[in-house]
Amino acid sequence: MRDIPGTWRRVAAGAGLIGPDGSAAPTIFAEMSDLAARTGAVNLGQGFPDEDGPAEVLEAARAAIAKGVNQYPPGRGIPSLRTAISEHQQRFYSLTVDPDCDVVVTAGATEAIAASLLALIDGPDDEVVVFEPYYDSYAACVALAGARLVAVPLRWPDFQPDLDALRAAVTDRTRVILVNDPHNPTGAVFSSEVRAEVVRLAERHDAVIVEDEVYEHLVFDEPHVPLATVPGAWERTLSISSAGKTFSVTGWKIGWVSGPAALVDAVLAVKQFLTYANGAPFQPAVATGLALPDAFFASIAASLRHKRDVLGAGLQSAGFAVSHPQGSYFTVVDAAALGATDAADFCRTLPERAGVVAIPLTAFVTPAHKSEYATLVRFAACKRIEVIDEAARRLQSLR
Ligand SMILES: Cc1ncc(COP(=O)(O)O)c(C=O)c1O
């Protein structure tokens, strides 16, 4: 494999995944999931829920298959889903989105991110500014698009960016400011000052904002505020979300991008040659989900908040220093007090020591910055409460 020329090398290197022999290494997520399967450890590594989402959404997918909704849907997405996305943006954020021109349905948020970056990057001098640590596809997609990644650090324990560092990172070379809020892996929700500064800098340097909002309904204190709602932002912002997290259907891979028609058309121009179309019977089901009453959306946030609290208390009494996530599936801890000096090594031995799997934060940073996150570890709270209780009980053996 290492002798095969091609873009794979740049992508793997961008994601920090070139092994010592020059071949592409598997991600630490795969390694940790294998470890969980082999050892029978409680898997709080990868972020996927272990129970089904709303019955009416699942039933709508079954009904669609039974009714023969099994062929290619329109490349932009079926009209009823685009309308549901538009109504959702209006209902929760007072954003007016034209379902015919301002929306495209994608194969999960992952394709939306890839298609947006491939659409907007124009050459090797273009830069994409991200907050670090970042969702692992960002660095890989920036590399795939042939641009440069510019990272603004988020520091333990509140993981808000330093505004001077943000100002220094955004220049006339910045093509895209890629923001994930609520944030994976840290659980941070960015302050209104950060939002305002992102928009101000994007305007000043004529950059496009791409916001990944897949955890938009999983916030614990204040309602989510999209960057697209900040005055002046809409015309330069692509908003990305996905059904996976909101409806606990991560395997369906139905995502979407919304924004001004010209930017959305650019994304569609790329998406149509990545997958053309996706998930025909899941699209009407997601439309059903997006139309669920407000009480549903409030209940998923309340349930995850409770899980965050139970997990946080368990982690604290096991001896970790615990951050206070305001959203997303995740809680970050500092394992230094438990003797950790290398988070990856700590996570590799955790199944044996305590029967639990977690992910080192170093999986979400560029290799050169790993030392700054060397003792931080991410635990997923999106599991059944008895699973979190059991993990918390097992972790007490670390004391
Ligand atoms: C921040 C973030 N963006 C995107 C995704 C991927 O979303 P999807 O499964 O819809 O492709 C994830 C999944 O973990 C995520 O955490």
Ligand 1 atom closest to 328 (CA): 16
Q: What is the pLDDT of residue 1?
A: 58
Q: What is the pLDDT of residue 86?
A: 98
Measured CA to CA, the distance from residue 338 to residue 323 in angstroms comes to 16
User: Mean pLDDT over residues 66-79, rounded?
Assistant: 98
- Report residue 119's pLDDT band, with 50, 70 and 90 as the boundaries: very high
Ligand 1 atom closest to 243 (CA): 10
Query: Going by C-beta distance under 8 Å and a sequence separation of 6 or more, which residues neighbour residue 392?
Result: 310, 311, 313, 314, 315, 317, 318
Percent of the chain residues past pLDDT 70, beyond the cut: 99
Provide the mean pLDDT of the chain: 96
Residue ranges around ligand 1 (CB below 6 Å): 47, 108-110, 135, 180, 184, 212, 214, 242, 244, 250, 253, 255
- Report residue 26's pLDDT band, with 50, 70 and 90 as the boundaries: confident
Q: What is the pLDDT of residue 25?
A: 83
User: Mean pLDDT over residues 247-255, rounded?
Assistant: 98
Q: pLDDT per residue over 295-334, tens digit each? A: 999 999 999 999 999 999 999 999 999 999 999 999 999 9
- Report residue 20's pLDDT band, with 50, 70 and 90 as the boundaries: confident
Q: From the CA of 214, how far away is ligand 1's center (Å)?
A: 6
What dihedral angle (degrees, nearest 10) is formed by the CA atoms of 142, 143, 147, 150? 60
pLDDT at 91 over 80: yes
The residue assigned the tokens 């959203």 is 327
pLDDT at 347 over 70: yes
User: Mean pLDDT over residues 76-81, rounded?
Assistant: 98
Measured CA to CA, the distance from residue 384 to residue 37 in angstroms comes to 18
Measured CA to CA, the distance from residue 96 to residue 86 in angstroms comes to 7
Residue with CA nearest ligand 1 atom 4: 109
Q: From the CA of 136, how far away is ligand 1's center (Å)?
A: 9
Range of weakest confidence among 24-38, 111-125, 140-154, 261-275: 24-38
- Among 154, 214, 224, the mutation site with the greatest number of ligand 1 atoms within 8 A of its Cβ is 214
Q: From the CA of 339, how far away is ligand 1's center (Å)?
A: 32
pLDDT at 2 over 70: no
Q: From the CA of 66, how far away is ligand 1's center (Å)?
A: 29
The pair phi, psi for residue 212, each rounded to 5°, is -95, 110
For residues 139 and 46, which has the higher predicted lDDT (pLDDT)?
Answer: 139
Joined together, the tokens standing for residue 25 give 């290494």
Q: From the CA of 110, how far away is ligand 1's center (Å)?
A: 6
Q: From the CA of 106, how far away is ligand 1's center (Å)?
A: 12
Q: What is the pLDDT of residue 23?
A: 85
Q: What is the pLDDT of residue 4?
A: 87
Considering the entire predicted model, what is its pTM? 0.97
Measure Cα distances from 374 to 153, 290, 319 in Å: 14, 39, 17
Residue with CA nearest ligand 1 atom 7: 109
User: Mean pLDDT over residues 269-279, rounded?
Assistant: 98
**Contact (Cβ atoms closer than 8 angstroms) between residue 289 and residue 117:** no
Whether residue 54 is preceded by a cis peptide bond, meaning omega within 30 degrees of 0, is no
Ligand 1 atom closest to 254 (CA): 10
The residue assigned the tokens 């395997």 is 251
pLDDT at 22 over 70: yes
